[in-house]
Amino acid sequence: MPKRAHLLIVDDEANTLASLSRAFRLGGHEATVCDSAAKALDLAKSQNFDLIFSDVVMPNKDGLSFLEDLRTQEITTPVVMMSGQAHIEMAVRATKLGALDFLEKPVSTEKLLLTVENVLKLQQLESENRQLRQQLGKHEIIWTGPTMQKIMAQVERVAASETRICILGETGTGKELVARTLHQLSPRASGPFVTLNCAAVPAELIESELFGHEKGSFTGAAARHLGKFEQAEHGTIFLDEIGDMPLAMQAKLLRVLEEGEVERIGGDKPTSVDVRVLVATHRTLERLVRDGKFRQDLFHRVYVFPLLLPPLRGRREDIPALIEHFARQVCAQNSWKAIPFTAEAIQSLQAHPWPGNVRELRNVVERLMLLATDDQVDMDTVRAALPQTTEISPAPTMSSGPLAERVQNFEREVLLAELKRHGYHITNTARALGLERSHLYKKAEQLGVDIQKSRREEEPSD
């Protein structure tokens, strides 16, 4: 569906302004009118327009001088010139000054609306190309194991629907990446993907960020501002860390979700919006509801289909592929040659608890490549890159024998290494391994590990 455009019409004839603005409004666009080039320049400085239509012949300052002033002020809004006294020289000069098109008056409504549609398509293509160049490889989800395979199967299943999805998981697990993937796999993929981190915006500004404001609606509102919901028209809005949204704002968000309308601060009428809403949080929303910090009615609106992302320690099988991906990304960004990781280094990184999850791993990979000597990342490099651990647990050794026995030996060595690294603190060890305390005891029993005996053996003798 076409986007609503915000247009500026500049013409000294009142009848022309009235007829053009009416035609654009009937076409679903928003039009601001102005009867002089000087006033129009001030408007273009203070507001964001998708397109400017300007007459050429006007008193005091003509349209071509206005176009020249726009470029001098580095205002890049596309401009279409119009004139009832058009000639080739005028059109050529307008084009040289940067006019996107030159229309001869009178202009039909069909021609005007088609011009707007073409400009919006061009802007969208340019924006997509910029984003693709900037984001190439940044938003790819990397996985090889069964844990993420199940998650991605759910993502593919629900992406094509309009279902509201609540993405859950610790900080750094890739919640925004999953939201982007849901958008890209949805029928709204050609529309915008707009994000807002509810925890990063001050409480007094979040309403303006979400719903927008009118010029002069509060101190500092020098121009009209479209909120995130209007920016996401026909696309997807992703509200990250929704558990941190103030209660007063939750009530207003609930109304938007129920009515499909937003009202800008200082506005006098609501505006319909067509967006899909995705939310995410690292908090437990049910607990926030019980504590009175999150509205129960809003909870039921956004918690339609929960997607729980595992921490990195719960998908250790994906770490080698993630390391390879991040290393390739870092090399491409810095024009470095490829730097291999030794098997021991990778195994050691797999044993690390990764409290910062995938985001932490990405940063550590870059640090490792900066610290690497002898053109490789080895155990010494890992020790230098992870100073917060007093001791890097040695990578479990590979045993011989049947596969089941090898797996059991590997698990036993990992469990013992984690117990030792956490000083036999059961809760911390269980958290590092992605297990409940009861499951840790059960796993130790299955593997023949006597936790108390192992602790006593580690204690220094008198």
Using one digit for the tens of pLDDT, what is the confidence trace for 397-433? Answer: 555 567 777 778 888 888 888 888 777 888 878 877 8
* Rounded percentage of the chain residues whose pLDDT exceeds 90: 55
φ, ψ for residue 111, nearest 5 deg: -65, -40
pLDDT at 459 > cutoff 50: yes
CA distance linking residue 318 with residue 332, whole number of Å = 21
Residues 6+ away with beta carbon under 8 Å from 343:
none
What per-residue confidence (pLDDT) applies to 411?
Answer: 84
Write the pLDDT tens digit of every residue in 161-219. 999 999 999 999 999 999 999 999 999 999 999 999 999 998 889 999 999 999 888 88
What per-residue confidence (pLDDT) applies to 130?
Answer: 58
Confidence class for position 437, pLDDT limits 50, 70, 90 = confident
Higher per-residue confidence, 333 vs 361:
361
User: Which sign does the torsion angle of CA 152, 157, 162, 165 carry?
Assistant: negative
For the chain, what is the mean pLDDT?
A: 87
pLDDT at 105 > cutoff 50: yes
CA distance linking residue 289 with residue 312, whole number of Å = 27
pLDDT at 60 > cutoff 80: yes
Confidence class for position 1, pLDDT limits 50, 70, 90 = very low
Higher per-residue confidence, 127 vs 445:
445
Give 355-360 contacts, CB < 8 A, sequence gap 24+.
356/171, 356/172, 357/170, 357/171, 357/172, 357/173, 357/174, 357/311, 357/312, 358/172, 358/173, 358/174, 358/312, 358/322, 359/171, 359/172, 360/172, 360/312
Q: What stretch of H or E contains 441? A: helix 437-446
Write the pLDDT tens digit of every residue in 112-138. 899 998 888 887 777 766 555 445 445
Higher per-residue confidence, 203 vs 392:
203
What per-residue confidence (pLDDT) applies to 391?
Answer: 44
pLDDT at 75 > cutoff 70: yes
What per-residue confidence (pLDDT) applies to 375?
Answer: 86
Residue type, 235: G
pLDDT at 19 > cutoff 60: yes
Write the pLDDT tens digit of every residue in 272-309. 999 999 999 999 999 999 999 999 999 999 999 999 99
Q: What stretch of H or E contains 414? A: helix 403-421
Tokens 């997807």 correspond to what residue? 236
pTM metric for this prediction: 0.58
Nearest-CA neighbor of 315 among 350, 271, 283?
Answer: 350
CA angle 14, 20, 23 (to 5 degrees): 140
pLDDT at 226 > cutoff 60: yes
**What does each C-alpha distance from 415 to 129, 404, 453 come to in angstroms?**
48, 16, 14
Higher per-residue confidence, 182 vs 222:
182
Higher per-residue confidence, 172 vs 451:
172
Nearest-CA neighbor of 66 among 99, 112, 102?
Answer: 99
* Rounded percentage of the chain residues whose pLDDT exceeds 70: 92
What per-residue confidence (pLDDT) applies to 345?
Answer: 94
What per-residue confidence (pLDDT) applies to 162?
Answer: 94
CA distance linking residue 223 with residue 31, whole number of Å = 15
Q: Which two tokens stand for residue 226?
A: 């479209």
Nearest-CA neighbor of 12 among 66, 87, 50?
Answer: 66
pLDDT at 2 > cutoff 70: no
Region 259-273: mean pLDDT is 93
What per-residue confidence (pLDDT) applies to 304?
Answer: 95
Q: What stretch of H or E contains 104? A: strand 101-104
Tokens 């058009």 correspond to what residue? 86
What per-residue confidence (pLDDT) applies to 392?
Answer: 43
b/e code 387-420 from CB counts within 10 Å (16+ = b): eeeeebbebbeeeeeeeeeeebbebbbbbbbbbe
pLDDT at 461 > cutoff 50: no
What per-residue confidence (pLDDT) applies to 425?
Answer: 81
